[in-house]
């Protein structure tokens, strides 16, 4: 696992995803897989459309997209997932073993990892916004790509365009110490600006770039909502530091922030994203 030779934002991300955030994603794996299945399905279709034979899933987490593509392509294709989080990679490997999937998982930083395979398709479901040097990261991914390889990923647009994703922290602001998000810093909304994605890809050695807004409907059962906002994101991290009674009081105060998204026992929201495509340029 390549976690050495880091400092600053890189060290912070490694610590976060190998600590509380990584464990929270493993704990809520089934919920998150259901929530973001529309994006998994899109990436599976796109891998089929380009007749992929060697796929890399960047920031693969617990492996849902990697495994989905592996199922669709069958044994004729190689499917690898890479993530910095050892807890999530361990979960992905267990899932692959349980279903006998033709997928392998690498615990490493995709920005720095020396890839041994050449991929004809590189995908990501919300996994590319956490690099401390995204130009270097996409340049390194370019070295792992065959000539004319396809790059397809989804990234969040702005926090303002995603009120569901920020409802808990807006509500918790007066109650908890939730650090404000820094524009452009590694994190969920690091790729909010279209022009920044364009520049990063161009400088990273990618061309034929297509960046389109996508509004995708996502849903979960209302009974899963509390698990969602108490485990994930900055509010989940802050709540984990509170004692039981304090947690209960804060959860009761935060929960009404989600009322606009709840109806008939279901939580529904629009995920405002960028659908990004590019092609590996000749070196």
pLDDT digits (tens, 9 = 90+) for 116-152: 889 999 999 999 999 999 999 999 999 999 999 999 9
Q: Indicate whether 62 belongs to any domain.
A: yes
Q: pLDDT tens for residues 194-230?
A: 999 999 999 999 999 999 999 999 999 999 999 999 9
> Are 124 and 58 within 8 A, CB to CB?
yes
The DSSP-derived string for 35-89 is HTHHHHHHHHHHHHHTT-SEEEEET-TTSHHHHHHHHHHGGGSEEEEEES-HHHH
Domain that holds residue 149: 8-158+182-219+271-280
Bigger pLDDT: 132 vs 7: 132
pLDDT of residue 13: 84
Give the max Cα distance, the chain: 59
Query: When comparing pLDDT for 10 and 190, which is higher?
Result: 190
Distances 41 to 88, 94, 180, 195, 216 between C-alpha atoms, Å: 20, 21, 32, 27, 12
How many distinct structural domains can be found in the chain?
1
Residue 32 pLDDT? 96
Q: What is the pLDDT of residues 245-282, one digit of tens each?
A: 989 999 999 999 999 999 999 999 999 999 999 999 87
For residue 257, tell me if it sits in a domain: no
Task: Determine, yes or no, domain membership for 250.
Answer: no
CATH number of the domain enclosing 116: 3.40.50.150
* pLDDT for residue 16: 84
Classify residue 251: in a domain, yes or no: no
Token couple for 41: 């399905």
The Cα–Cα gap between 69 and 44 comes to 5
């Amino acid at each position: 696992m390549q976690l050495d030779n880091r400092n600053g934002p890189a060290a912070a991300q490694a610590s976060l995803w190998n600590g509380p955030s990584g464990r929270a994603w493993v704990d809520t794996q089934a919920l998150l897989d259901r929530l973001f299945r529309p994006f998994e399905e899109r990436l599976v279709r796109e891998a089929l459309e380009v007749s992929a034979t060697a796929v890399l899933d960047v920031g693969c987490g617990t492996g849902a997209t990697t495994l989905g593509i592996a199922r669709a392509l069958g044994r004729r294709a190689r499917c690898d997932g890479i993530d910095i989080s050892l807890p999530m990679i361990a979960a992905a490997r267990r899932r692959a073993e349980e279903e006998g999937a033709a997928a392998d998982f690498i615990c490493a930083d995709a920005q720095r990892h020396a890839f041994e395979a050449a991929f004809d398709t590189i995908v990501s479901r919300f996994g590319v916004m956490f690099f401390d040097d995204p130009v270097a990261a996409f340049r390194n991914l370019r070295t792992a790509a065959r000539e004319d390889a396809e790059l397809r990923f989804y990234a969040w647009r702005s926090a303002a365009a995603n009120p569901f994703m920020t409802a808990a922290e807006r509500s918790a602001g007066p109650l908890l110490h939730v650090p404000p998000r820094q524009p452009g810093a590694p994190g969920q909304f690091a790729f909010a600006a279209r022009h920044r994605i364009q520049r990063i890809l161009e400088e990273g050695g990618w061309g034929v770039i297509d960046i389109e807004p996508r509004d995708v409907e996502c849903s979960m059962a209302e009974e899963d909502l509390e698990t969602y906002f108490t485990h994930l994101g900055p509010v989940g991290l802050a709540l984990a530091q509170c004692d039981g009674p304090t947690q209960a009081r804060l959860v009761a105060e935060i929960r009404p922030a989600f009322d606009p998204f709840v109806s008939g026992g279901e939580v529904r929201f629009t995920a405002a994203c960028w659908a990004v495509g590019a092609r590996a340029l000749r070196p």
